[in-house]
Structure 1
Amino acid sequence: MKRDSRLSGVLHVLLHMAELKGPVTSDTLAGAMQTNPVVVRRIMAGLREAGFVNSEKGHGGGWTIVRDLNAITLRDVYLALGEPALFAMGNRTESPGCLVEQAVNSALDDAFRDAEALLLERFGAVTLAQLSADFHARMVASGKTIDLETIHAS
């Protein structure tokens, strides 16, 4: 099963966007996410509906972050993406006739529910500002500078 990397990709570009003074085009974001600009626009539309970003059309337009990074958590972004599945594992069948498989499903369902609740709790405790601070510390330690336009050029 293919992994859903939208959360990672969106967090990545949001942190890049936070470093920039002006709007960022869907083409530039698509380069950073290694996807198509149409996919970026679809993903960013959910973030716009959540009030995290804004978009302007035309020359000089693009996407900008409109909410303070301290006010956006990983959970907020996850929810804005439509709550993609957190785990690739699942039950073999949802309504098995076999009593053994029913017992297996029950145990797995409990474990998946507990793990999901813990993960979402952790997502809610991490803000984009914390990720940005970590990025800045890594940048200082590496002695490098980051430029969205060139670092992800194909």
Structure 2
Amino acid sequence: MRHDNRLSRMLHILVHMARHGGPVTSERIAAMLGTNPVVVRRTLSGLRDAGYVRSEKGHGGGWVITCDLEQVTLLDIYKAVGQPSLFAIGNEHSNPDCMIEQVVNLAVDDALREAASVLVERFRTISLGELNRLFDERRAAGHDGSIS
């Protein structure tokens, strides 16, 4: 089963961009993520449309973060990347007239709605600035991990 990792990838890149302090090319971002620069540009275009990044053309150009890290939340970025499905599980719809299937689907739908609500609310409380600070804390504590 394939997971949609656009949110975590873009959060990763945004913190890198904030720490870099200058333009970062699509090629460099693609190398960090192990993907194609076209995929990077397509995904970053949603963040550009939301006003979180901009692209600078020409020599020395690239993507630049334009938002206040303290004001932008994980929820904001989740919305900007297209609100991908939060869960990989879902309901069976092979026999919609079956009352057992209907009851199961209702129970699963209710649980998924409740879980999604909790997760979205948590996303609302975490800023990009907090991610940046958490990185600094982990680095200062000597956690082994590269900036890639």
Q: CA RMSD in A?
A: 1.7
Distance 2:11 2:131 in 1: 9
| Structure 2 equivalent of residue 39 of structure 1 | 39
Q: Which amino acid aligns with 2:30?
A: A
| Structure 2 equivalent of residue 96 of structure 1 | 96
How far does residue 72 in structure 1 lie from its aligned partner after superposition?
A: 0.7
Aligned 1:4-153 pairs, distance under 5 A: 4-93=4-93, 96-142=96-142, 152=148
* Structure 1, unpaired ranges of 5+: none
Between 1:135-144 and 1:57-66, the stretch displaced more is 135-144
How far does residue 95 in structure 1 lie from its aligned partner after superposition?
A: 7.0
User: Structure 1's 139 and 39: CA in aligned 2 closer, same or farther, altered over 3 A?
Assistant: same
Distance 1:85 1:77 in 2: 14
Report runs of 4+ in structure 1 exceeding 2 Å deviation. Answer: 143-146
How far does residue 6 in structure 1 lie from its aligned partner after superposition?
A: 0.9
Q: Which amino acid aligns with 1:68?
A: D
How far does residue 143 in structure 1 lie from its aligned partner after superposition?
A: 7.6
SS in 1 for 2:70: helix
Distance 1:95 1:40 in 2: 40
How far does residue 144 in structure 1 lie from its aligned partner after superposition?
A: 7.3
User: Structure 1's 44 and 88: CA in aligned 2 closer, same or farther, altered over 3 A?
Assistant: same
Distance 1:44 1:118 in 2: 27
Distance 2:112 2:145 in 1: 40
User: Structure 1's 95 and 59: CA in aligned 2 closer, same or farther, altered over 3 A?
Assistant: farther
> How big is each residue's C-alpha offset from its partner over 1:92-120, in whole Å with a ceiling of 9 and x where there is no partner?
11871100000000011100001001100
User: Structure 1's 13 and 58: CA in aligned 2 closer, same or farther, altered over 3 A?
Assistant: same
Kindly tell me the number of residue pairs found equivalent between the two proteins: 148
Q: How much identity, in percent, do the aligned residues show?
A: 52
Q: TM-score, normalised by structure 2?
A: 0.94
How far does residue 33 in structure 1 lie from its aligned partner after superposition?
A: 1.4
How far does residue 66 in structure 1 lie from its aligned partner after superposition?
A: 0.5
Distance 2:73 2:44 in 1: 16
* Structure 2, unpaired ranges of 5+: none
